[in-house]
């Protein structure tokens, strides 16, 4: 996979979003396509989407789904085909999920492979890296500009920071007149003019600004616990640490005025700060898994993993890339049946384990077969 690409626009995909997808009733259509952030290649994506919509329609017809249901199911992604503005603001991939009375699409910073599946539940493994330890956020923060990014080891994309003040002037503009401090920006430093003890006013105003930014950014990031790296002048960090409500702020910052640093430069510097933390945390969990194998506290059999996830027994689920492992789970007894091939009544059993683990408060680690230490596509550490 290549290094971070040029800036693109993306949508945050959270644990809550994935969990909500798990509650959908079938038939469920999952569509993944690669997209481009700029240039003539952006014209390829709607063609790819159109082809996969047609493939989904054929699959639905072959499973005797009524035409009216098919038309309703696929109408939302079809509406995207002629939305020229939508295709000009993309990341590296597009994931679309269609079910009766439900449609969600996500522009993601992942170069997704072209794929469509029609099944009893959504396929979510292709986007799991966005929930992994290697995903993180970058908050580029100066007095004149605020930018929020979602990144992985290899990619970065902008998150539109809804309600996040765009500058210090904007954040303080609505204060009571007696508390307002007029300032102008000078070389990345603020020159404050008003009554009071100079530096104390500076710090108080800066603290109010950072508190406003944090309030909006934390709301934007929702239930995420992925690392958040600040890119800012050095003295912002301790003040931000004192006001933030975000649960996983990295204790070091990308220091310096970030206004003129490109997303690629910010990505490289931020990844350098968290790479060691990511490797340490993942290795600690993998060590716990390896030590637990053979003791009854870890399992690798897919039927046992699916049943344990359904029962809420999975503390940490380790998932690897790979094609779907088709099967079905009896809604009453929970009995797991492995299928010989895909059908609209089946689902990817690995995805089912992911969805149930997240819905019951467990963690999911996206990794590689080689790192697990056992030849399996999925493994689980159990709570009991």
Band of pLDDT at residue 8, cut at 50, 70 and 90: low
What is the dotted CATH code of the domain comprising 293-382?
Answer: 3.30.1330.30
Task: Map out the domains of the chain as residue ranges.
Answer: 9-123, 136-281, 293-382
Instruction: Please check the confidence at residue 272 and state whether its pLDDT lies above 70.
Output: yes
Ordered DSSP codes for 144-198: S-EEEEEE-SS-EEEE--TT--SSHHHHHTTS-TTT--EEEEETTEEEEESSS-T
The answer to whether residues 152 and 110 touch, using CB atoms and an 8 Å cutoff, is yes
Instruction: Please check the confidence at residue 165 and state whether its pLDDT lies above 90.
Output: no
Fold of 136-281: Nucleotidyltransferase; domain 5 (3.30.420)
Q: What is the pLDDT of residues 180-207, one digit of tens each?
A: 444 444 334 444 443 344 444 478 889 9
CATH of the structural domain 9-123, one choice from 1.50.10.10, 3.50.50.60, 3.30.960.10, 3.20.20.140? 3.30.960.10
Question: What would the mean pLDDT of 154-176 be, rounded to a whole number?
Answer: 73
Question: What would the mean pLDDT of 155-174 be, rounded to a whole number?
Answer: 75
Residues 328, 64: Cα–Cα separation, whole Å: 19
10 Å CB burial of residue 20 (0-12, 13-18, 19+) is: middle
The answer to whether residues 345 and 328 touch, using CB atoms and an 8 Å cutoff, is yes
Which of helix, strand or coil describes residue 293? strand
pLDDT score at 327: 95
* CA 215 and chain centroid, separation: 20
The average confidence (pLDDT) of the chain is 85
Band of pLDDT at residue 126, cut at 50, 70 and 90: very high
Least confident of 161-170, 231-240, 250-259, 272-281: 161-170
Residues 298, 31: Cα–Cα separation, whole Å: 33
pLDDT score at 175: 66
Token couple for 168: 């210090």
| In the chain, % of residues over pLDDT 70 | 89
Q: What is the pLDDT of residues 234-263, one digit of tens each?
A: 999 999 999 999 999 999 999 999 998 998
Residues 121, 116: Cα–Cα separation, whole Å: 13
Q: How far is CA 285 from CA 2, 278, 318, 380, 384, in A?
A: 27, 11, 9, 11, 16
Crossing angle for the helix pair 199-221 and 236-243, nearest 10 degrees? 60
Question: What would the mean pLDDT of 158-172 be, rounded to a whole number?
Answer: 74
Question: What would the mean pLDDT of 114-121 be, rounded to a whole number?
Answer: 94
pLDDT score at 5: 41
pLDDT score at 185: 42
Tally Cβ neighbours within 10 Å of residue 261.
Answer: 17
Read off the pTM: 0.72
Examine domains 136-281 and 293-382 and report if their fold is the same: no
């Amino acid at each position: 996979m290549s290094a971070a690409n040029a800036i693109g626009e993306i949508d945050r995909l959270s644990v809550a979003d994935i969990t909500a997808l798990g509650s959908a009733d079938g038939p469920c259509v999952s569509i993944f396509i690669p997209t481009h952030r700029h240039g003539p290649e952006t014209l390829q994506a709607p063609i790819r989407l159109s082809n996969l919509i047609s493939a989904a329609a054929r699959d639905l017809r072959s499973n005797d789904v009524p035409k009216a249901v098919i038309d309703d199911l696929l109408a939302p992604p079809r509406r995207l085909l002629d939305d020229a503005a939508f295709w000009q603001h993309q990341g590296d991939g597009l994931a679309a999920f269609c079910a009766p009375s439900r449609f969600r699409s996500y522009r993601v910073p992942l170069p997704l492979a072209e794929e469509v599946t029609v099944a009893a539940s959504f396929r979510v493994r292709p986007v799991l890296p966005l929930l992994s330890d290697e995903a993180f956020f970058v908050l580029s923060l100066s007095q004149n500009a605020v930018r929020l990014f979602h990144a992985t080891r290899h990619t970065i994309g902008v998150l539109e920071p809804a309600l996040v003040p765009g500058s210090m002037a904007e954040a303080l503009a609505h204060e009571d007149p007696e508390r307002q401090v007029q300032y102008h920006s000078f070389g990345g430093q603020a020159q404050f003019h008003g009554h009071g003890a100079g530096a104390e006013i500076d710090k108080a105003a800066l603290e109010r600004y950072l508190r406003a930014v944090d309030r909006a950014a934390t709301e934007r990031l929702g239930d995420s616990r992925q690392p958040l790296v600040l890119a800012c002048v050095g003295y912002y960090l301790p003040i931000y640490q004192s006001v933030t409500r975000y649960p996983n702020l990295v204790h070091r910052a990308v220091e310096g005025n970030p206004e003129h640093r490109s997303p690629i430069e910010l990505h490289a510097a931020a990844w350098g700060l968290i790479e060691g933390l990511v490797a340490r945390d993942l290795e600690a969990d993998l060590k716990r898994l390896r030590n637990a194998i053979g003791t009854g506290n870890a399992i690798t059999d897919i039927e046992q993993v699916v049943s344990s996830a359904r029962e809420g027994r999975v503390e940490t689920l380790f998932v690897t890339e790979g094609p779907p492992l088709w099967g079905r789970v009896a809604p009453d007894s929970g009995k797991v049946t492995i299928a010989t091939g895909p059908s609209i009544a089946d689902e990817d059993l690995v995805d089912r384990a992911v969805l149930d683990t997240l819905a019951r408060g467990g963690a999911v680690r996206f990794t590689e077969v080689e790192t697990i230490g056992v030849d399996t596509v999925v493994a689980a550490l159990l709570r009991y």
